[in-house]
Amino acid sequence: MARRPASADIGILDIVGVGFGPSNLALAIAAREYNASVSPAAALRVSFLERQPHFGWHRGMLLEGATMQVCYLKDLVTLRNPASDFSYVSFLHEQDRLVDFINHKTMFPLRQEFHDYLEWAAHRVGDVVEYDTRVVELRPVLVDGEIALIDVVGVRGDTGETVVRRARNVVIAVGLEPSLPPGIELGERVWHNHDLLSRVADMPTAVRHRFVVVGAGQSAAEVTEFLHTRYPRAEVMAVFARYGYSPADNSAFANQIFDPAAVDDFYAAPPPVKEMLNAYHRSTNYSVVDIDLIDELYRRVYQEKVHGRERLRIMRASRLVDLRRLDDGVAADVEFMPTGQRETIEADVIVFATGYRSRDTRQILGAMAEHCLDDPAGRPLLGRDYRLMTGPNSSADLYVLGATEHSHGISSTLLSNVAVRAGELLRSVAGRGGAARTDGAGSGRDGELGELASR
Ligand SMILES: Cc1cc2nc3c(=O)[nH]c(=O)nc-3n(C[C@H](O)[C@H](O)[C@H](O)COP(=O)(O)OP(=O)(O)OC[C@H]3O[C@@H](n4cnc5c(N)ncnc54)[C@H](O)[C@@H]3O)c2cc1C
């Protein structure tokens, strides 16, 4: 699909989305389905700016055999509109693989396959996306002293051209960024797992045939397994503070923390209850590993013990205390915390699988930041509809999808609710004016959208 010229004047849009990962992709589909159900005059005009040159969902971690941590029915649409032809089931049907998938008897598709699904969906709504366009700031547009519109300013990656898109509503869904321990700088032999596959493709010469992997979560365990399989001559040292990998709690009652209704409960709860719930249910998502993968790693460690060649070493209750770069590798000082004993490991590469954090939306807000309100803890103040609360002189609206764990709970950064919250957000936009301001359609919109959002 041809990209719109940077200088194109496309008038005022109802929604400009920043980022085009699953959150805004689900929103684009919800808008498409909504527009198909209303008169052309009432249709919402939407556009999305994405900094990647084409659609991609955590490409660096599309490891062979890695599976999803969410049921395939929590796709981009099904919980909002089970009849949508953007569902995972529709995708499988179109690939002529539906019956094979059913025979497979799994709820958790391959990560690669889910990526293909997202890419398939993104391609179908490709006319509303401008790729290779990184949003750098938002600028308020004043009309009679009031912020009536927002200019979303982006920069083209290939040409350096500036792109400005004017909107009534801006939806920021910029996802996660890698998190590293303080003082660690990435380099040729110091990696974060987020770009593992491209790093491996450019692997520097291996002298020691040894890797260090720091971390005890799902990504760390996946990287450990991957390197151990991919480099059959290499030792892999897994360094973490826990005594052992801990399993992810995906039991039925605990899983309800990801339900749409749990977002209502969480949003309404007082701050101490919010903290309590997040602490109780951290083990559904943070620093935990799928039990099958834990069993697989243990099986490998045990088998190597039996055969007398131990390539996979679990350095438990340990921490990295120093890291030095060598000409042809790295030297990592690792301390076994119970005794304080230290060991220096020379390796070809060290991989930090030390997690991710939500990108700070304030970096994108630009001059809009001073108009946004904070909660008493200094975090963005959000409505239940994901709207950033702004001062009294703003009628343009800003929404955030993703970085809302403090207000909307543990499912915020995940896929569990992408479909439902896209519908909720769309209903909010339309309820607060949406395209009605351009076409004067007004009433009636809310009713149709209410139906769309809850279908
Ligand atoms: C390896 C991995 C596996 C995961 N697996 C699961 C899983 O199985 N189940 C689950 O529920 N969750 C999973 N997650 C959590 C993950 O956060 C969600 O799957 C999902 O990516 C959230 O979608 P999003 O659109 O909010 O964010 P993202 O997918 O991160 O998308 C954000 C987009 O915004 C773009 N962007 C960022 N800044 C700018 C800018 N300034 N201008 C323009 N574009 C910008 C980015 O390029 C990106 O495409 C996984 C995460 C990782 C890292």
Does 92 share its domain with 171? yes
Give the residue whose CA is nearest to atom 38 of ligand 1: 174
150 and 215 belong to one structural domain: no
Question: Is 255 inside any structural domain?
Answer: no
Q: What is the pTM of this model?
A: 0.95
C-beta 51 within 6 A of ligand 1: yes
Contact (Cβ atoms closer than 8 angstroms) between residue 45 and residue 33: no
Mutation to probe ligand 1, out of 3, 16, 23 (largest number of atoms < 8 A from CB):
23
**Boundary-marking domain end, from 341, 356, 371:** 356
Q: Could you give phi then psi for residue 150, rounded to 5 degrees?
A: -130, 130
Residue 272 falls within a domain, yes or no? no
Task: Report helix, strand or coil for 424.
Answer: helix
Q: Would the CB of 32 count as within 6 Å of ligand 1?
A: no
Answer yes or no: is the C-beta of 61 below 6 A from any ligand 1 atom: yes
Burial degree of 84 (CB within 10 A; 0-12, 13-18, 19+): buried
Residue 183, both tokens = 């003082």
Task: Say how many Å lie between the CA of residue 19 and the centre of ligand 1.
Answer: 9
Site to substitute for ligand 1 among 50, 132, 287, most atoms within 8 A of C-beta:
50
**Locus of tokens 């260090």:** 212
The CB of 380 under 6 Å from ligand 1? The reply is no
Q: Is the CB of 415 under 6 A from ligand 1?
A: yes
What average pLDDT values come out for the chain (455 residues) when binned by 10 residues?
86 97 98 96 96 98 97 98 98 98 97 98 98 98 95 97 98 97 96 98 94 98 98 97 97 97 98 96 95 98 97 98 97 98 98 96 92 94 97 94 97 97 96 54 36 39
422: Cβ below 6 Å to ligand 1?
no
- Nearest alpha carbon, ligand 1 atom 37: 174
pLDDT of residue 452: 39
**Chosen domain end from 356, 374, 402:** 356
* 71 and 166 in a common domain: yes
Tokens 């749409």 belong to 260
Atom of ligand 1 nearest to the CA of 154: 42
> Is residue 205 in some structural domain?
yes
| Position in ligand 1 atom list of the atom nearest CA 174 | 34
Q: Which of 247, 218, 284, 279 is nearest to 416 (CA)?
A: 284
Best of 174, 218, 286, 412 for a ligand 1 pocket test (most atoms within 8 Å of beta carbon): 174
* Nearest atom of ligand 1 to the alpha carbon of 69: 8
User: How do beta strands 146-156 and 162-172 pair?
Assistant: antiparallel
| pLDDT at site 362 | 87
The verdict on 116 and 127 lying in the same domain is yes
Burial class (CB in 10 A: 0-12, 13-18, 19+), 422: buried
Ligand 1 atom nearest residue 114's Cα = 8
Same structural domain, 142 and 209: no
**150 and 204, same domain (yes or no):** no
Domain count, the chain: 2
Closest residue by Cα to atom 31, ligand 1, is 21
> Ligand 1 atom 23: the closest Cα is on which residue?
22
Q: Do residues 196 and 226 share a domain?
A: yes
Closest CA to 400 of 414, 416, 380, 415: 380
Domain that holds residue 83: 12-175+359-454
CA distance 274 to 256: 15
The reply to whether 296 and 171 lie within a common domain is: no
- pLDDT at res. 434: 56
Assigned domain for 307 exists: yes
Return the pLDDT at 439: 36
Q: Is residue 254 part of a domain?
A: no
What pLDDT score was predicted for residue 443?
A: 33
Is 285 in contact with 208 (CB distance < 8 Å)? no
Which of 129, 164, 415, 418 for a ligand 1 pocket mutation test, highest count of atoms within 8 Å of Cβ? 415
Q: Are 150 and 46 within one domain?
A: yes
Q: What is the CATH number of the domain that holds 116?
A: 3.50.50.60
Q: Distances in Å between the alpha carbon of 229 and those of 113, 240, 290, 311, 339?
A: 21, 20, 18, 11, 32
| Residue ranges with strand state E in 215-370 | 235-239, 312-315, 318-326, 329-336, 341-347, 349-352, 356-358
Distance of CA 180 to the CA centre of its chain: 17
- Out of 324, 356, 388, pick the residue that ends a domain: 356
Residues 109 and 239 in one domain: no
In short, whether 278's Cβ falls inside 6 Å of ligand 1 is no
| Residues 336, 200 share a domain | yes
